[in-house]
Chain A
Amino acid sequence: MEARKSTLKLILFTFGMFGFGFALVPLYDVFCDITGLNGKVTGPTITTYDQEISSREVKITFVTSNNKQMPWSFKSSSPQMKVETGQDYLMDFTFTNTTDKPMIAQAVPSVSPGRGARYFHKTECFCFEQQFLAAGESITIPVKFIIDPELPDDISSLALGYTLFDVTEEFANLQAKN
């Protein structure tokens, strides 16, 4: 029957679109990775630049914030620094677990303006893993970064922001599953 055929096709299409909704998740990440949109920064990269390439000065601002009711203290050792493109720099960040129980935290980075994100290379970063701190413990970890000399000329300052998330429960759930 004709009606049965069209109905089946339409049902198939519906399930296809349900799948497409989920396919948007990886598509979105891939799209942001390729274009560097959304201030998304990529994983660790090991990069060295020829010192001969003309470098210029860029101002870097460090912003730290806590998500929701994350009680930790989380600070960079200095709010700003001036850097030359193409050279390695270090900036110290201090985490303090101010509560009386052990906790796990995850810092999520973001660079703005978003256009500059793909020129901001972090060669070492605490954001690639989680921080486990006992009650009252404090730790200082450096971020090692290098600014790509290809950075567009109209960008003279970049901001590296970190938001600190409490992932104690998520991590525990994950462990329980594995």
Chain B
Amino acid sequence: MSAVIDSHHDDHHHGPAKGFSRWLYTTNHKDIGSMYLWFSLVMLFIGGAMAMVIRAELFEPGSQIVSPEFYNQMVTNHGLIMVFGVIMPAFVGFANWMIPMQIGAPDMALPRLNNLSFWILPVAFGILLSTFFMEGGAPNFGWTFYAPLSTEYAPPTVTFFIFSVHIMGASSIMGSINIITTILNMRAPGMTLMKMPLFVWSWFITAYLLIAVMPVLAGAVTMMLMDIHAGTSFFKAGGGGDPVLFQHIFWFFGHPEVYIMILPAFGIVSHIIETFSRKPIFGYSSMVYAIASIALLSFVVWAHHMFTVGMPIAGELFFMYSTMLIAIPTGVKVFNWLSTMFKGSLTFETPMLFAIAFVALFTIGGLSGIMLAIAPADFQYHDTYFVVAHFHYVLVPGALFSLLAAAYYWIPKWTGKMYDETLGKVHFWMSFISVNLTFFPMHFVGLAGMPRRIPDYAMQFADWNMMVSVGAFLFGISQLLFLFIVLKCIYNGKAATTEVWEGAKDRGFEWTVDSPAPYHTFSSPPSMESLKSSS
């Protein structure tokens, strides 16, 4: 069952093993991809439940449901789970499923490593979630875990938090090494780098970002660990350290990290828009260069998260200008998507609806990002709900919508069955309306001065907050509908064709294999000739 790579001459029509051991020992990229996706869906509901607690508490001013201490634990773990447990593993899941199929490879380059990098994830999150049942409670210092809040003032469970971050980091790093090695060595003959599908390109660059910054994060939590238990003073001013150093190290990781969560989305949206516009993507090479320049710039903008720590004016200006520079490649991408749709034969199936919403709403998040990049104005916005509105716009109708779009787009290929288009559209419109109802008013309360990370607020913010909470509950319910649609598709969907989407066969290798995709695909590499639009 193992040694998938070298099994060209083996009988490749055999199916997977039976029972739980199939999943535990599997080295098949499709199995591992599915496990990543199911894992992140489960985590989405756990992190989402925490968001519901937050919004229930903020439904009205005053202390309502939970204690401020528990509220802080909710905010912290909601952030950690959504970032490390939902968005990142979901993209890795898509990478596992789709990269080998898109480049015409039989599997990932390092299948056993692939198995390991998935299976340590539930361990990491098991450790993190177990802290809720420990003395002192779960981590409560925000997902950015600034020292000394996360060292000297932290609950004793911080050590568990540190180890779980170590494990998550190891998982991401192993996954990334695997992805880069696969892309570099296993492409179908004739597929040069500049002929790779954009999803592959976006992951290729994302994986480099991951191996560049996840070790730095591991270093940061290791320093915390040593400050707490080994008596060092990396972040303790009393011993010659500096708490501001923590923020520099954290955001050196943190800013590339936010692009890690959006670059694969760019790849996904590019595929969906070209398929449903029935045109090849406009400006393929500029798309590649835009992703690459966003990735490079992400290393020199980190201190725009720290404008208020007391930087000299030269520093503020440098980070302000470099941040604004990112708007250029991002703008290139947005205009390329619009140009692809321009004069295309558009149809609006569910994946396309989510992709178009992605383009529109992600741009709103990008524009509020430019407002935040203006250093003098940032002193007003810093740590308010405006920031919360900004990053939720890029992460929810941005990254999460792209994941939903991708799930609708590829699920017929995975399961061999079509999802219910009507229900899909209902899911889209419910999500679209509620996501805006949730996050748009946050701009207003933020500009009016409502601080983030507080369990109670002043009276004048009451109306907007109630509206936000209603939107959030509706958004939560909409995602339960998504779960229902997925299950209905698997157990009760109509059979899908090989091509699935009109004309898709010419656009990617994944649409040339049967639906559902056989357990082993491309035991011998496909020919680039079979793709009409490959020139």
Contact = CB atoms under 8 A, between A and B. Distances in A.
A108 B237 CA distance: 7
A10 B110 CA distance: 13
B215 A37 contact: no
A11 B180 CA distance: 11
A54 interface: no
A67 B213 CA distance: 32
Interface stretch (B244-252, B286-294, B411-419, B506-514): B244-252
A20 B216 contact: yes
A25 to B, nearest CB: 6
Interface in B199-238: 211-220, 223, 231, 233-234, 236-238
A65 to B, nearest CB: 11
B310 interface: yes
A13 B219 contact: no
A16 B217 CA distance: 13
Nearest to B249: A24
Interface in A124-177: 163, 165-167, 170, 173-174
Interface string B170-186: 00010011001100111
A88 to B, nearest CB: 27
A2 interface: yes
Contact of A7 (B177, B213, B231, B239): B177
Contacts of B234: 25
Nearest to B239: A170
Nearest to A67: B238
Q: For B110, B181, B249, which residue has the most chain A Cβ atoms within 10 angstroms?
A: B181
B187 to A, nearest CB: 12
A43 B19 CA distance: 67
Contacts of B236: 165
Interface residues on B, range: 35 or more
Given A17-B215, A21-B218, A112-B310, A167 B249 contact: no
B211 A13 contact: yes
Interface string A13-43: 1111110111011001100000101111000
B171 to A, nearest CB: 13
B109 interface: yes
B127 to A, nearest CB: 21
A114 B238 contact: no
A6 interface: yes
Contacts of B237: 67, 108, 163, 165
Contacts of A123: none
Contacts of A101: none
A7 B110 contact: yes
Nearest to B312: A37
Interface string B362-383: 0000000000000000000000
Contact of B215 (A14, A35, A163): A14
A3 B310 contact: no
Nearest to B177: A10
Given A10-B177, A24-B252, A170 B220 contact: no
Contacts of B152: 68
Nearest to A32: B242
A64 interface: no
Contacts of A114: 310, 312
Given A13-B211, A166-B238, A2 B185 contact: yes
B66 interface: no
A22 B533 CA distance: 47
A11 B177 contact: yes
A115 interface: yes
A73 interface: no
A106 B185 contact: no
B211 A17 contact: yes
B483 interface: no
B213 A170 contact: no
Contacts of B176: 10
B315 interface: yes
Contacts of B426: none
Contacts of B360: none
A18 B238 contact: no
Nearest to A164: B238
Interface in A102-129: 106, 108, 112, 114-115
A100 to B, nearest CB: 22
B311 interface: yes
Contacts of B211: 10, 13-14, 17
A159 B233 CA distance: 25
Nearest to A18: B215
A36 B474 CA distance: 52
Contacts of B180: 6, 10
A108 B215 CA distance: 31
Contact of B231 (A39, A40, A108, A170): A170
Contacts of B173: 14
Contact of A18 (B216, B233, B315): B216
Contacts of B220: 21
Contacts of B223: 22, 25
B219 A165 contact: no
A67 B239 CA distance: 12
Interface in B412-441: none
A173 B231 contact: yes
Contacts of A3: 109-110, 181, 184-186
Interface string A44-76: 000000000000000000000001100000000
8 contacts: A6-B185, A10-B181, A21-B252, A25-B245, A28-B245, A38-B244, A170-B238, A173-B231
Which 10 interchain pairs have the tightest Cβ spacing?
A: A21-B219, A165-B238, A18-B215, A21-B216, A17-B215, A10-B177, A173-B231, A3-B185, A3-B109, A108-B237
Given A6-B180, A17-B214, A166-B238, 11 more contacts: A7-B109, A10-B181, A17-B215, A18-B218, A20-B216, A24-B216, A28-B245, A29-B242, A68-B152, A163-B237, A165-B239
